[in-house]
Chain A
C-alpha cells in the first residue's frame, strides 16, 4: 500500500511514493530518491549530518517522517549550487578549509545557509559558533567552518545591499 505526497525538491515539483510509513525524510532521500548527498551520522537528531532545509528552515531529516511532508519545499545539498556557480557558503567552505573528511559537510553547509537566512548571527563568530553547534564535526574543522560562515554571511549581506541600492 503506497501513499503519495507532493514535494518541491530542490526546486522541482515531485510526486513521491512512500512505500512504508516508517520512512524518514533522510532514508527517502538517500535510499529511494537517489540523493545520497545528505548524510546519516546518528539517525536520532544528535549530530546534524542530515541537515536539510524544509520550507526554508533547517531540519534534521532523520527526525522527520516522509509521510508527514506533503506539500513541503525541501532543499538538499544537491540543490544548492546553480549549475557551475557555487553558493557563497560552499565556496567559503573550500577557501577556509571548513572540512576534512567531508562527511558532515553537506549538513554543515545546509545548516550555515539556514543560519544566515535566520539573520540572527550576522558575522559575529561567537553567535556563529553557537548557531552551528547542532552540527558535529569529528575531524575538528570548526575553526574553518566559523571563518567560512562569517565570510559567506558578509558576502551575502553585501550582495543584498548591492541589490537593494
Chain B
C-alpha cells in the first residue's frame, strides 16, 4: 500500500454520504436470517390458542382432542402450566407490561393466549390448537371509549404521562376574540410489522439461547431472565435482522415467555411465530383517543390559549395512556397552555408505544384544530402558524438547541407551490373534474437520548472492529452506525467491521424514540475517540515517533494515520504506533447519552412541515393523496439516502393514519373483526405517489456531540393533519375523526 494519503478521504467523510445499505446484499438475496428462519435440530413448533371472547373465563378446553391429534406432543393450559419464577404482574424492567402467561382462566381481552400446543410440525400444532374448541363464561364487554368511565390518574413512569401547563388558561379563554371547541377521535391501530413476533428458544442447562426480533436486546434479556429465575447474563439473544418493529418489539410478550417455558419443559428447541391475526392481541397497539381542543386567538390572531385534553383507552389490567395532548407542548406560542390526559379502561390488550406515540395522534388533532382556528381567524393556515411561531419554548422560555422550522415552512411551501392557495374550500378542480384540496401541518418530535455502550478494537493492520448490541429494524443501523464508527477513527467504511444485534456485545440500548442513531452512534464515536486518545498518548510520549512532544490536542486521524493538524508532515500510522509499543491491538470504550445539565439548558426537537394535495372524486368521494411534500430539519444527517427512506416511510404511515388504519371491534363479542390485512388496511404501492422529502440543513451544537436529532418518527407527525386539512379544502367537509373514509365524505 502506498504511503501517500488519499486526498478525497478526510475525517468525517463517511457521514453525510448516501452509502447503500451494508446489509443490502443479504436482504436482496434472501440470506438475511430473521428469527423464525432458524430451524435447529429437534425443533418443536408451538402455537397458542387465542381467546375468542374479550371478557370472562375459559370454562372448558378439549385438551383430549388436541392431545389425540397425530404429531401433537403437549398441551399447556392454566391447569398444567409449569411454574414460572417471575410474577407475571411484576414489572422487572423499564419496558415491562403485566403479561398473560396462562396464570389463570380469566379472559381480559380477545386474542389473549389461553393455551399453548406443541407439535412435531407446525401443521400438527396448528390443528391441535384449533381442536381445543374453547367454551367460555362470558361477561359484558367494554371496547369503545364510552363503554366505561373516564378517569384521571397520577402520572408517573412508563405509560402514565404527565401533562403540562403554563399561563392562565381560564384567562386565555376569557380574553379570546375568537375561539373553537372541537373534538377529534383517532382509531385503535396495530403495529403489524411484516415480520410477526417470533421466537426460537433453546436451553442448555440454565443458559437460554433466543433468536427473537428485539428493539432492546439487553432489556429483553433481563425481562425473560426474570420469568425464569436466572441471571440476565445467562440469556443470549440474537436479533441481527428485525422485520419491522415500530415500538412493538421492545417489550417481551406472553406467548414468547410461554415458548421459552415450553422449551424448558420439553428440553427441546421451540419455535413460536404469531399468525397475522394474533398480531391484534398481546403485542401492543396504539390506543384509540378522543381529544378535545379549545383554542382562542385575540384580535390580532395571536393564540391566547391552547387547551388540549386527551382521553385514551388502556386495558383493565395495565397502564399505557397515549400521551396525545403532549403533542401541543412545544409547538406554538400561546399565552396559556394546558395539556392533560385521562384514561378509560376497556377489555382490550394493553396499548403500547407505536411509532410516534402521542405525537402522531396528538398532532393529528392539533394540526386540524389549528386549521379550524386559522379559518375562524380568516387567515391562510401557513401564515397563521408563522404568526404564532414559538421563538423560545412556550412556558419555560428556554431556547431551542436549534430550530429551522421557519426554513422548513419556506422550503416545503416553495416546493409544493403553496402560494396562491385559495382560502376558501371547494375552489379547485383538476382537468378531470376531481375536487382538489391543499392542506399542511407542522411536525415536531422530541430528541430524547437513552444510554448505550460501545467498544472499538484497533487491529494491527490498521482496520478496526466496532461492537455494540445495536438494532437494525429497517432504519439502517447496520449502515449508519458503521459510518459513524469509521469516522471516529478516520477510516473508510470498508476498513471497519461492525458487529451488532447480539446481546453479548456492549449494551447498544434501545432502538426507539428516534434516538438510536444519536445514542448508539454517540457510544461508537466515543469508543473510537478513546482509541485515538490512547494512540496519541503513546505517540506523543515516544521519542521515536514523529509526533513526539506534539501534545494530543491537535492530533487528527485520517485513513489509518495519526497526524498533527497544523503540520501534516508529522504523522504516523496507527499500525506503527501499536507495533512500537509492542501491542497487537488497542481497545477503546465509549458511552452514549446526554448529561442531565445539557438536557436542562435547551428545548430539543426535530421539526418539519408537511404539505398535502388530495383529489376527491365528486361522485364517489374516493380520496387520493396525489402529492405529499415534507421538509424536515433534524440536525445532522448521517446518510441522506436512508434518511429519505425513513422520512418517506413515516409520511406513508401518516397517510395510513389519515385514510386507512382502524381496528374495529364487534361490540357484542369484543373481538376485532378486521384482524388481518384484508380488513385492516395499510397503504399498498398504488396508494403512494408524488412523495417528496426535503431535509433542511441544521447544525445543532447542543443536542449531542454528533449533532444528530433522529428521523425515525417525525415523518408521521404533521402528515395526518395535512391530509385531513387538504380533504376539508377539497370538499368543505371537516371530518373530526381518523381514518377518514369514503362514507364520511358521502354523508350529507
Contacts and interface: CB of A to CB of B under 8 A. Distances in A.
Task: Verify that A and B bind, or say they do not.
Answer: yes
Interface of A: 19-20, 22-23, 27, 30-31, 34, 36-44, 46-47, 49, 76-78, 80-81, 86, 90-91, 93-95, 97, 99-106, 109, 125-126, 128-130, 132-146
Interface of chain A, main secondary structure: loop
Contacts of A76: 30
Given A41-B677, A86-B29, A105-B27, 7 more contacts: A27-B123, A42-B677, A47-B276, A94-B24, A103-B195, A136-B682, A143-B691
B30 A138 contact: no
Contacts of B650: 140
Contact of B474 (A43, A134, A139): A139
B599 interface: no
B23 A102 contact: yes
B689 A129 contact: yes
A103 B21 CA distance: 14
A96 to B, nearest CB: 9
Interface stretch (B33-41, B454-462, B702-710): B33-41
Nearest to B651: A140
Interface in B170-210: 192-196
A58 B90 CA distance: 48
13 contacts: A30-B39, A41-B194, A76-B30, A77-B28, A81-B29, A94-B21, A97-B21, A101-B193, A102-B23, A133-B685, A133-B686, A142-B652, A143-B688
A102 B32 CA distance: 8
- B33, B71, B645, B691 interface centre (most CB from chain A within 10 Å): B645
B20 A129 contact: no
A66 to B, nearest CB: 11
B31 interface: yes
B296 interface: no
Interface stretch (B135-143, B236-244, B437-445, B548-556): B236-244
A102 B243 CA distance: 6
- A41, A100, A144 interface centre (most CB from chain B within 10 Å): A100
Contact of B122 (A27, A44, A102): A27
B593 interface: no
Nearest to A37: B30
B385 to A, nearest CB: 26
B476 interface: yes
Interface residues of B, number: 64
A106 B30 contact: yes
Contact of A97 (B37, B641, B686): B641
A102 B689 contact: no
Contacts, number: 186
Interface in B265-294: 273, 275-276
Contacts of A78: 29-31
Contact of A133 (B31, B273, B684): B684
Nearest to A125: B689
Interface string B69-87: 0010000000000000000
Nearest to B195: A103
Given A94-B21, A94-B25, A143-B688, A46 B677 contact: yes
- A97, A101, A105 interface centre (most CB from chain B within 10 Å): A101
Contacts of B37: 30, 36-37
A132 B687 CA distance: 11
Contact of A40 (B32, B127, B273, B476): B273
- B273, B685, B691 interface centre (most CB from chain A within 10 Å): B685
B123 A146 contact: no
A39 B27 CA distance: 12
Nearest to A99: B27
A77 B476 CA distance: 22
B28 A31 contact: no
- A47, A49, A109, A143 interface centre (most CB from chain B within 10 Å): A143
Nearest to B691: A143
- Give the 10 A-B residue pairs with the shortest CB-CB distance, closest first: A37-B30, A103-B243, A101-B474, A100-B474, A140-B652, A102-B27, A77-B30, A140-B649, A36-B37, A46-B677
A129 B243 contact: no
Given A42-B276, A95-B20, A141-B645, A101 B30 contact: no
Nearest to B692: A143
A139 B275 CA distance: 19
A105 B684 CA distance: 14
